[in-house]
Structure 1
Amino acid sequence: MPIRGEIVVIAGGAPVTTPRDAARDAARDELLKADYHRHDPSLQERVIDWIMDRIDDALSALAGDGTSGATGLVLFLLVAAVVGAALWWRLGAPKRAARTDLGVFGDIGPRSAAEHRADAERHAAAGRWTEAVREQMRALVRGLEERTLLDTRPGRTADEAAAEAGRALPGHAAELAAAARAFDDIAYGERTADQAAYQLLRDLDRTLERARPVLAPAAGGAA
């Protein structure tokens, strides 16, 4: 239905006067339809385009296109800071992936679940929540290894331990995954630990001590 000013021409040819606001709203609603925006760039693409434009501006300034070298250098440094912040936000702390490769136990020697639990309680009593969370997660994983719900494997990450243990203890799979995320965020992601994070892991460890595994059906068994 074409809009000409405030006059709308219907199929029979008789003009119908449409209020200006209604006509404007109808046009806006039409233009907001997804079909008109199917090929619009995504938010990420628009951000990248904006950054590239700023880099071009800074390089042009450094080349002396009507701007002093000092001003161009300042612009370039500002753009570099923006790019660095964007990469940090997108990828996280640069050392995080490398540090998680050490696994839950890092490079410490073999210790029992009871020893890790004792260390966790000692750190918690002193208010050292980050250390308490690390030791409590180690106690949880070592306890599963001691029950043979997990094989003893150096370098296993918290996520791997949670996924493997979740298959043997499906009723606690979601809690294990949440515990692994909390451990990674605190141990490697610079998240601040607190008593609640420690208590969550401690309670889960106690719960898993009493949990009975779900045995996989034997191959060739009855359906």
Structure 2
Amino acid sequence: MTPIGRDDAARRAAEELLKPGYEKESWLDRLYRYVTQFLGDLLDGATGGGTAGGVIAAVVITLIILGVLVLVGRQLRKASRAAAPAAGGLFGERALTAAEHRAAAERLAAEGRWSEAVRERLRAIARDLEERALVDGMPGRTADELAAEAGVALPAFAAELAAAARSFDDVTYGGVEGTQEAYLSMSDLDERLRRARPAPLAPAHAGAEGGSGATGGDTR
């Protein structure tokens, strides 16, 4: 059998790839074919280039492989972050209203599922505050972030909001079992927050007037 030269083999490979069956080749298969062909060319060059050529080819191939591994790892990490909910996030995948979270919490409480009921009740609080524009609707918000921001708008509830956030984190991430007492406390906070109004902001000119009065009052 007559040996097939490299040019002849390349021509036959090209003819093979032009067949209709390769039109549906996936991008991953095409990329793999291009890479293996490129590496094959490098190895052929190294074989004919002596020791120095072999060393250079080995270094280039190593760098290429490392680069591919880095790119693949980066894409996998991006895909993992996109698929997973934010760590410590307050809400789940579904966007519900405050009333829907509240109703879900009541159903869970009726079934004695206190941990889940506590979570849903704090979500009801968070969504209610968002719906009333007392806090921003920030994606991936944590319970602690909610308590901090809501505590600015409703300073009288700051301590209770911080305690509610700790209760949420305990039953969600700390392995602590929810209790009826914890749920009733969260429910009571929810009801009082629904009736609460934000603290009024002092007018900007109030401080100036006050300072002016203090300065011009007693001239002794």
Matches within 5 A, 1:9-28: none
**Structure ranking higher in helix proportion:** 2
Q: Distance in 1 between matches of 2:137 and 2:106?
A: 24
- Name the TM-score, length of structure 2 as normaliser: 0.54
List alignment gaps of at least 5 residues for structure 1: 1-97
Distance 1:105 1:210 in 2: 23
Tell me the amino acid that sits aligned with residue 150 of structure 1: V
1:17-96 to 2 correspondence within 5 Å?
Answer: none
Is 1:121 aligned with 2:99? no
Residue 89 of structure 2 is matched in structure 1 by 103
Match of 1:150 in 2: 135
Larger Rg: 2
Q: TM-score, normalised by structure 1?
A: 0.53
Give distance in 1, aligned partners of 2:142 and 2:129: 14
The alpha-carbon distance between structure 1 residues 99 and 112, as it changes in their structure 2 partners (threshold 3 A), is: closer
1:192 is paired with a residue whose SS is coil
How far did 1:124 drift? 0.4
Q: CA deviation at 1:99?
A: 7.9
Does the alignment pair 1:198 with 2:183? yes
Q: Would the alpha carbon gap of residues 179 and 100 (structure 1) be closer, same or farther in structure 2, given more than 3 Å must change?
A: farther
Tell whether the 8 Å contact from 1:99 to 1:188 is kept in structure 2 after alignment: no
- Counterpart check, 1:209 vs 2:209: no
CA distance in 2, matches of 1:217, 1:100: 37
CA contact (8 A) 1:149 1:168 kept: yes
Aligned residues: 124
> Match of 2:205?
221
Which residues of structure 2 form unaligned runs of 5+?
1-83, 208-220
Q: Is the 8 A contact 1:100 1:188 kept in 2?
A: no
Which residue is 2:144 aligned to? 159
**Alpha-carbon distance between aligned partners in 1 of 2:139 and 2:185, rounded to the nearest angstrom:** 25
1:123-167: CA deviation from partner (whole Å, max 9, x where unpaired):
000011111011101001000001100111111100000010001
Partner residue in 2 for 1:140: 125
- Identity of counterpart residues, as a percentage? 59
**1:121–1:134: structure 2 CA closer, same or farther, 3 Å change rule?**
same
The one-letter code matched in structure 1 to 2:149 is E
Q: Which runs of 4+ in 1 moved over 2 A?
A: 98-102, 215-218
* Cα RMSD (Å): 1.7
C-alpha displacement of 1:103: 1.2
